[in-house]
Structure 1
Amino acid sequence: MARIEIVHRTDYSYRNPVGLGTHRLMLRPRDSHDLRLNHASLNVDPQPSAVRWAHDVFNNSVCYLSFDPEIRVEKFSVVSSLNLTHYPIGADLPPCSLDPAAELFPFSYPSQEIADLARLAERQEPDPKGAVDAWARRFVSGPGETRTLKLLSDMTHAIKDELKYGARHEEGTQSAAETLERGTGTCRDFAVLMMEAARALNLAARFVTGYLYEEDTRGELRGGASTHAWCGVYLPGAGWVEYDPTNGLLAGQNLVRVAETRLASQALPISGGYVGAPDDTLALDVCVAVKAAPLKPAKAAEVA
């Protein structure tokens, strides 16, 4: 486990004074058995006229900021500070956590879960040349020969090892087919590729956004200077298991989950508009600082 401190600062600059529309924030994680939220604060400048919290369709915590329509600003900043404790499963997901019927691929989801997982198991992007299908099938052996956990682990490491990572600050995400064709992408592109590959195999997958941390200073992980993205795959018995194809991380190791969605476009940390000319946007700066300190393992009774 680790105690994590996160400061996520977003600064907007405008060429001329602009009005601010309603902004939607996805910056606060949900407290759970693997993540304890000790403290959270939000500082906004200029101060909003109203702050409203809600849960979205996926039960993510969402904050809405409203501003006085008469106010005009040349700068706008949002600073989210979090202090939390993370209890990841770690890289070695116990095989016994899987339902025995799901240990080998292919398998079927329990009938009572199919309706809830159906949309997450559907392909969300076109694949006209079948490139994503063909890529996903690389990891499948003959019937009864493919172990489910190995399939997903191999897929995760293949993306890390075979595709080139490159940070991209423009909005939007490449399609899975584009990422394969270009051979390069960002963390969100790699997450979408793995999601679509899993869905090509009829596995339910979802997009996960959050933060990446390291418990030492070696700096070997990629994608830690901003928000990070990975994916979750639903496995009977184990539930939602997280995979980070950018770094080859499994089962939530070094990953602080903030929100989960069906599409990458539904998981924007900050979204909103302004009243002004289209070219009034001067600059957007995002800085994420994550500090992690390992904790002495607690007794089982203390974390139950």
Structure 2
Amino acid sequence: MAMLGEISHTTTYRYATPVTFGTHRAMFLPRRGASARLLSWSVETSVPSTIRWVTDSRTNAITVMDFSEPSSELKIAFQVRGVYFGVKGIEAFPLESRADEVPVQYTPDEWTDLAGYLRPHAEDPDGSVAAWTKNFVAGDQDQTIDVLQRMLSSFRSFSYCARDTEGTQSPSDTLHKRSGTCRDFAWLMIETLRRLGFAARFVSGYLYDAALDGGAVGMTGSGATHAWLQVFLPGAGWLDYDPTNSISAGFDLIPVAIARHPGQAIPLAGSWIGDAKDYLGMSIDVAVRKIGEFRDPSEG
């Protein structure tokens, strides 16, 4: 199945008096590959700018913007059109036998390639994350897909709580609070999986919510940037898992950036020079819309 979709993402910063802007770096362009084909994309800024596109070491597309004039408002607007392909479920990806049970048996080449995604990154000062990890492989509960599904389902007991402050909670904080944002939930699941020997990576992107097409909201995190994770399973490759919405298939998740940890996947970062009290705040407007069905012309 394939969906023709459009993404618009506008960020507006406001200041009491004109300020000078440093370089801004944005991650808004969906990753191209087997699950996505980009048809067009653009970026516009309210302040005259020089824009260039680069890729980082993880092949994420980065938009680099340098501004030539001061202003009391900076608006950055991205728009993308593309085709997004989905799958019905994990059964579409038969695992190799070495991935059937925990721990997954990676090959030497895979260990080398996946090393950065296998090692835990966050501290676990009180051992709470390690203790929580054991719950998912207690007794003979070691079938890989079952472990992943139990872990995904466990987040239903957590409370989603949006916050204005930047950054991501530590996994232990999220576990103790039993609440957080999509970034917090993804980061906790990643660090839990790594302690079980899985290669897992952080993903930032967009969430398509079909309910929005009808004027309702059906999933948490729609209408904004979203975060989830991917797990590498031999035979299937990198598979998406969204602990916020218990999603593990379909074209609801549109990846933009992949990273070892959340700090490497900031949607928009930059600097400005002025008095701190001049900053009045920011607003973000995100829309992910289905604009039609896609049919490959080559299929006749």
Q: Fold match, TM over 0.5?
A: yes
Q: Could you tell me how far apart the structure 2 residues matched to 1:136 and 1:254 are? A: 28
Please give the secondary structure, in 2, of the residue aligned with 1:62: strand
Residue matched to 1:10: 11
Between stretches 276-285 and 191-200, larger displacement belongs to 276-285
Between stretches 168-177 and 145-154, larger displacement belongs to 145-154
Q: Could you tell me how far apart the structure 2 residues matched to 1:95 and 1:87 are? A: 13
Q: Could you tell me how far apart the structure 2 residues matched to 1:89 and 1:192 are? A: 24
Please give the secondary structure, in 1, of the residue aligned with 2:271: strand
In structure 1, give the amino acid aligned to 2:60.
Answer: N
Q: What does 1:281-300 correspond to in 2, within 5 Å?
A: 281-293=279-291, 295=293
Q: Could you tell me how far apart the structure 2 residues matched to 1:294 and 1:235 are? A: 32
Residue matched to 1:59: 59
The Cα shift of 1:251 comes to 3.2
Alignment match of 2:145 (pick from 132, 149, 152): 149
* Residue pair 1:243, 1:252 contacting (<8 A) in 2 also: no
Any idea what the Cα deviations from partners look like across 1:76-101, whole Å, max 9, x if unmatched? Answer: 000001111111223x2127521111
In structure 2, give the amino acid aligned to 1:166.
Answer: C
The runs of 5 or more residues in structure 2 that have no matched partner are none
Q: Could you tell me how far apart the structure 2 residues matched to 1:167 and 1:62 are? A: 26
In structure 2, give the amino acid aligned to 1:133.
Answer: A
Q: Could you tell me how far apart the structure 1 residues matched to 2:299 and 2:58 are? A: 30
Q: What does 1:1-304 correspond to in 2, within 5 Å?
A: 1-48=2-49, 50-68=50-68, 71-90=69-88, 92-94=89-91, 97-142=94-139, 145-159=141-155, 161-216=156-211, 217=214, 218-251=216-249, 253-293=251-291, 295=293, 302=299
Q: Could you tell me how far apart the structure 2 residues matched to 1:221 and 1:255 are? A: 12
In structure 1, give the amino acid aligned to 2:132.
Answer: W
Please give the secondary structure, in 1, of the residue aligned with 2:210: coil
* Residue pair 1:214, 1:292 contacting (<8 A) in 2 also: no
The Cα shift of 1:302 comes to 3.8
Any idea what the Cα deviations from partners look like across 1:39-71, whole Å, max 9, x if unmatched? Answer: 1111111120x2221110101011111122xx2
Q: Please tell me the root mean square deviation across aligned C-alpha atoms, in Å.
A: 1.8
The Cα shift of 1:294 comes to 5.9
Q: Could you tell me how far apart the structure 2 residues matched to 1:65 and 1:124 are? A: 30
Q: Could you tell me how far apart the structure 2 residues matched to 1:106 and 1:250 are? A: 20
The runs of 5 or more residues in structure 1 that have no matched partner are none
Q: When the two structures are superposed, what TM-score results if normalisation uses the length of structure 1? A: 0.92
Aligned length: 296
Q: Could you tell me how far apart the structure 2 residues matched to 1:142 and 1:13 are? A: 56
* Residue pair 1:7, 1:79 contacting (<8 A) in 2 also: yes
The Cα shift of 1:215 comes to 2.3
* Residue pair 2:83, 2:294 contacting (<8 A) in 1 also: no
In structure 2, give the amino acid aligned to 1:13.
Answer: R
Calculate percent identity across the aligned residue pairs: 36
Q: Could you tell me how far apart the structure 2 residues matched to 1:125 and 1:214 are? A: 31
Q: Could you tell me how far apart the structure 1 residues matched to 2:207 and 2:74 are? A: 25
Any idea what the Cα deviations from partners look like across 1:232-262, whole Å, max 9, x if unmatched? Answer: 1111111111100000000354111111011
